[in-house]
Structure 1
């Protein structure tokens, strides 16, 4: 089964980070590209992006009227200064 192509647009990203004082909730609006696979979701976030997004543990993404949540399983900074997050959908 082929996965559909990426969905691109401006999205609201709510994310959490674990700190010594417990989870810290943050949010940002960024240009993104989202690609779904059978077991993972690849979220690519373009500049400008917050300095701490790479440390997110969970992500809730609102794009085109749909909300998707996931746990960050892998992260990678790309040569064009964007950030790729691999999420396990919840």
Structure 2
């Protein structure tokens, strides 16, 4: 796979959030863009997206037959209301 070219498509995203009662598992189907480098993955999720997705602690998604499981290391809400995640693959 070319590490510099982003891959775009629709993906099911399984994510967890920490709550007072422990981790809560959730999922959503969203349009995404994924860019991989040898040490990190950048996932950008476009509208419409769940209101609480920005608080995800871990994510699992599949795009073009490749499944990625990762810990969220950074997040940023973008001007177009998308969310950009910096991920550390597990």
Bin of the TM-score, shorter chain as denominator length? over 0.9
In structure 1, the gaps of 5 or more residues are none
State the partner residue of 2:89. 89
State the partner residue of 1:22. 22
In structure 2, the gaps of 5 or more residues are none
State the partner residue of 2:4. 4
List, as ranges, runs of 4+ consecutive aligned residues in structure 1 with deviation greater than 2 Å: none
Within a 5 Å distance, the mapping from 1:1-90 to structure 2 comes to: 3-90=3-90
How many residues are aligned here?
Answer: 89
Task: Encode CA deviations 1:36-76: one digit per residue, 9 max, x unaligned.
Answer: 01211000000000000000000001112221010000000
Question: Counterparts of 1:7 and 1:54 in 2: how far apart (Å)?
Answer: 21
Instruction: Give the TM-score normalised by structure 2.
Output: 0.95
Instruction: Give the TM-score normalised by structure 1.
Output: 0.95
Task: Encode CA deviations 1:64-89: one digit per residue, 9 max, x unaligned.
Answer: 22210100000000011110000000
